[in-house]
Chains A and B, each alone.
Chain A
Amino acid sequence: MLSKSKIFLRGTTDVLPHMLSVIPFGIITGAIGVEFGFDPLLVYATSLIIFGGASQIIFMQLLSGGASSLVAITSVGVINSRHLLYGAVLSEYLEKLSFFKKLFISYFIVDQGFAESNKYLKKNNSQKNLHFHVLGGGITLWFFWQISTISGIILGSFIPEELGLKFAIPLTFLAIIVNDLRKLDHVFVMLVSGFASLILFDAPFKSYIILSPIVALIAAFIMLRFKK
């Protein structure tokens, strides 16, 4: 039986490799917000209050381009609605927690943390205190995200644009799912999602981010019916 702090630490170390993309992305997010002409405090508030990389950039981009608050808020809501899926998956491991612990832990659910915790929890589902892995990963990602956006706000985008570090973002997500390429049923769902995202890319409010997973999950549902 692992101690709570060991599980927390495991969560931390499991998300650390993703800092390769999280830190540059955070710096870019902070710097871009200032470039758009927002008050530095406001830019930072998006990291603290919204806390969702891509949605923060799009939020500021829309508002600086003259879009209405309603459009900006709707876009953030649509982009971040994928967390509903993460919550549905993680709820299996968090259901015994008290309501307030659930409210607290929810704030820290983000893409890379969800992905790494999901892997760990599946493998160790007989362990106790598994939510410490979610906390360890989530708080680590939160911490580095805050620090990196603040550095971007203060120092500007000191990472040369020629490096094309935006490319680290698809790579970090590729690293998350690459091991599942060994399973044909998962490969099928991935391809449906990927092609759906290319087709739906121009859908309003960046809704391809949630529509493509929905299409892929429906495909998974149909596939499961045929497998039986």
Chain B
Amino acid sequence: MTWFSIIVSGIVTYFSRMAMIALIDRDMLSSKVKEVLNYVPAAVFPAIIFPGVFFNDFGLFVDITDPKIYGAIVALIVGFYSKNVIATILSGLLSYWFIIFLI
């Protein structure tokens, strides 16, 4: 049964990856829709970032003093000015570790 679930989940996931690329003709999308698609990264990724920063493992809001919030702020500032992925991730992690291990 578990194997069956994995295979069906795999098919469903693959379909979501493939459908818009292989099955949909781009001419079917209006220019309005194409314009809105410019915002896909801005619309998708914050929905992963915000809960990852503001909720704990139990789905509860973290305190305003939570180290993740400060780590995220540091990463935000470093990322904004450096435009560098490694610097963004590392600055966030290092400041987060600095708070949990040294303060």
Interface residues in chain A, defined as those with a beta carbon under 8 Å from any beta carbon in chain B = 17-18, 20-21, 38, 42, 45-46, 49-52, 55, 59, 63, 69, 72-73, 76-77, 80-92, 94-95, 99, 102-103, 105-107, 109, 111, 115, 118, 162-182, 185-187, 189-198, 201-202, 208-209, 212-214, 216-217, 220-221, 224
Contacts and interface: CB of A to CB of B under 8 A. Distances in A.
A165 B90 CA distance: 11
Contacts of B102: none
Contacts of B39: 185-186, 189, 216-217, 220
Contacts of B41: 115, 118, 176-177, 180
B9 A105 contact: no
Contacts of A76: 9, 12-13
A46 B10 CA distance: 8
Interface in B35-72: 35-37, 39-55, 59, 68, 71-72
Nearest to B25: A95
Contact of A209 (B20, B32, B48, B72): B48
A6 B81 CA distance: 28
B22 interface: yes
Nearest to A99: B22
Contact of A84 (B16, B53, B92, B96): B16
B21 A171 contact: no
A17 B88 CA distance: 10
Nearest to A59: B9
Contacts of A178: 75-76, 79-80, 83, 88
B103 interface: no
Interface residues of B, number: 65
A69 B1 contact: yes
Contacts of B12: 73, 76-77, 80
A166 B100 CA distance: 14
B89 A172 contact: yes
Interface majority SS (helix, strand, loop, mixed), chain B? helix
Interface of B: 1-10, 12-14, 16-22, 24, 26, 29, 32, 34-37, 39-55, 59, 68, 71-72, 75-76, 79-80, 83-86, 88-90, 92-93, 96-97, 100
Contact of A87 (B21, B34, B47): B21
Given A105-B21, A171-B72, A85 B44 contact: yes
A49 B2 contact: no
A181 B47 contact: no
Contacts of B86: 17, 20
A42 B3 contact: yes
A107 B59 contact: no
A216 B42 contact: yes
7 contacts: A17-B89, A18-B85, A20-B89, A49-B10, A170-B48, A177-B49, A181-B80
